[in-house]
Amino acid sequence: MSTLDAKINEHFAGYVVRKDLVKAVKGNAIVPTYVLEYLLGQYCATDDEASIATGIETVKDILGKHYVHRSEARLVQSRIREQGRYKVIDQVSVALNEKTDSYEATFDNLGIKKVAVDSGTVKAHPKLLVTGVWCIADVQYEFTEDARNSPWILESIKPIQVARVDFDSYLAARDAFTTEEWIDLLMQSIGFEPSVFGRRSKLLQLMRLIPFVERNYNIIELGPKGTGKSHIYSEFSPHGQLISGGEVSVPKLFVNNSNGRIGLVGFWDVVAFDEFAGREKTANKALVDIMKNYMANKSFSRGVNPMGAEASFAFVGNTDHNVPYMLKNSDLFEALPSQFHDSAFIDRLHAYLPGWEIDVIRSEMFTSGYGFIVDYLAEILRHLRSQDFSHRPDQYFTISNKISTRDRDAVYKTMSGLLKIIFPNGGETEQEVEELLKIAMESRKRVKDQLFRIDSTYPPVDFHFVAADGRKLSIATVEEEEFPQFYHQGREAVPGEDSGSDETTEQTEDQPVATLPTFPEPKAARPREGHVVFAENRKGISYDKLFGPYLDGAKRIVVTDPYIRIFYQIRNMMELVEMVIRRKPPEDQVSIHLVTGPDDGNIETQRELLDSIAEACTGTGVDFTWAFDASGGAHARDITADTGWKIVLDRGLDIFQPPMRKANGFSLGDRLQEHRMIKGFYVTYIRS
């Protein structure tokens, strides 16, 4: 058990479960994660291995006996008849039979209908009237010769969810965790291994939780297939409902005029629209109009009386093209159906989560650590919906007054959601608020910049905020930094707006320095002094672009990096050597010397790998040598060349996130640096 897992069990005993147990018990039961974790929470919410093993067998036994497989429905029906009463785990919905003035339940997997339900049960669990709810139910069978009466009777029913949550204890326990530990706990709670995600990637994953914690929050996520866009909304919470984009109708979503029944928005905290993208799809104009009104005003009207609701909307879908294609030829909303590719609809979105920054889900991304029972966390988030944290950042920062009220409200709602998730008890520092505020503003800026492309009547906006000391912090999206040649095409500069990038440069007499991120031809780029900051999760960066122009013509290069120790770090060193070999004239001789620190736990392997680089350079015109730092305490990370250039790096050569590994080796990210996501880092170029 890791130190974090031990801490989680110490402060949240009984409310956490080891996340790999879900796979251990699921088998072929097609049930949401929150159903399985509810059962695991009853029997396996402990760190005692013997108790866990016993609990797993108990849960397996319960699922084996009581979960209804569609293929075994008739067998279970027979069992109920023979025994008179039987407990089942199934998805249950209820409808009013107006002819008999009685409520009748339908069991989805069991395949029985017209099961008698008393009014008290319906009043206690009104969601049963809207859609299917997973329940543990006792079903009776009493045959009657009256054909009008069903033999099936619902004796008792219990929706699968945590009965009680002590919110004050939750807040008190939060104080025991650092911000990083808390974020990692939340990542483990949604099933992911924190160590394989960068800081920004973790925050993007947690943004998917905002609709559960913020009322009337509208978020869209478009990106490649296989990134888990709909997982949170289908598996995470009993308060969320995932529906196919093609199954949406006005009566189902809002209100049925024929009987006055309110739809999904009246009963669920989150309504998520799966497979929402698709240019060939069509939508009812009346539905689109009502959705736009609801997203803007939290109310809707069909007929005379307006109605209000609190459900948040989440729209998820797949993109057809990559980001540069969309930016060059259309916009980042190009995949939406034509009725929703509408400026009025898009303007009502509070945030655009960049799905292209989310990795395709792979096996090593799942955690075996401890996390909250998802139903427990879902209840906590639901409790927080009634609170408003939106103005807590005002103690440190002032959002630009050039930003419209709608933009400002969107930023504040995103910010409120992130603060509720990460800092439910307060205590956030100025630096932490700045980090979250940048993401919140970027998420709205992505929407507004695309609106500027779609509808020329929308003016460009200078997205920035001001710190208490007067610093102006301009906001740029990652794709804006990565593809400025496409992002800004046809766009006039906003008065007072910066370049739209977090990259900071110093000015020379004739032109700005450090234009590295947009090198079209790295070898032709002119090296200049300057300081460049790179945002996490962008692609298109390589050693060739960063270092190549500065190392051209050098006869001796010294790399100082105390952390060239384990395999992937030594591979980074090898890739730098490969870059020098590719760029230098074949007749030139270059020496590369590495100064690093020893890997105390595995120094022999470190020596062998570094010596392997030296051997590989034989006959290439590059002489590679290495040595351990004699002082033993140096932390400098830089590259110096005898041409007078010094390149200072805060992360050394360790600038890339781990590429996606595939058993057959065919991964572009593994082969080409430009196809890897980077970590956040800076580079300073100094000429002596």
Q: Which fold has domain 516-687?
A: Endonuclease; Chain A (3.30.870)
Place of tokens 């630009």: 400
Beta bridge partners of 467: 397
Residue 245 confidence (pLDDT): 67
Q: Which residue has the tokens 């120790």?
A: 565
Residue with the two structure tokens 């969320």: 240
The pLDDT of residue 64 is 84
Task: Give the model's pLDDT for residue 215.
Answer: 96
Q: Which two tokens stand for residue 420?
A: 């509720």
Neighbours of 663 (CB within 10 A): 6
Helix 167-174 to helix 374-384 angle (10° resolution) is: 100
Tokens 């929706």 sit at which residue? 159
Residues in the chain: 688
Give average pLDDT by consecutive 10-residue segment, the chain, 688 residues: 92 89 79 84 82 89 87 90 92 88 91 89 84 87 79 87 81 96 96 92 96 97 91 85 81 82 89 90 87 92 78 94 91 93 95 93 88 90 94 94 93 97 95 96 96 89 93 93 83 44 39 41 68 91 95 95 92 95 90 93 92 91 91 80 95 85 68 90 94
**526 residue type, one letter:** R
Domain 165-376: state its class.
alpha beta
Contacts of 132 (CB under 8 A, 6+ apart): 91, 92, 93, 108
User: How many CB atoms within 10 Å of residue 309?
Assistant: 22
- Give which of 522, 449, 523 is closest to 481, Cα–Cα: 449
| Residue 389, C-beta contacts closer than 8 angstroms, at least 6 positions apart | 415, 416, 419, 420, 423
CA nearest to 79, candidates 148, 158, 138: 138
Are 165-376 and 516-687 in the same CATH fold? Answer: no
State how far the alpha carbon of 108 is from the alpha carbons of 63, 137, 277, in Å: 16, 13, 28
Tokens of 348: 């009502």
Q: What is the pTM of this model?
A: 0.79
Domain residue extents for the chain: 70-159, 165-376, 388-487, 516-687
Any idea what the Cα angle at residue 31 is, between residues 27 and 34, rounded to 5°?
110
pLDDT at 456: 86
The residues near 378 (Cβ < 8 Å, ≥ 6 apart) are 34, 161, 212, 236, 237, 238, 239
Residue 586: the pLDDT is 84
Secondary structure (H, E, C), 60-77? HHHHHHHECCHHHHHHHH
Of the candidates 363, 332, 358, 362, which has an alpha carbon nearest to the alpha carbon of residue 229? 358
Which residues have C-beta within 8 Å of that of residue 253, sequence separation ≥ 6?
Answer: 263, 264, 265, 271, 287, 290, 291
Architecture per CATH, 70-159 = Beta Barrel (2.40)
pLDDT of residue 662: 58
179, burial (CB in 10 Å: exposed 0-12, middle 13-18, buried 19+): middle
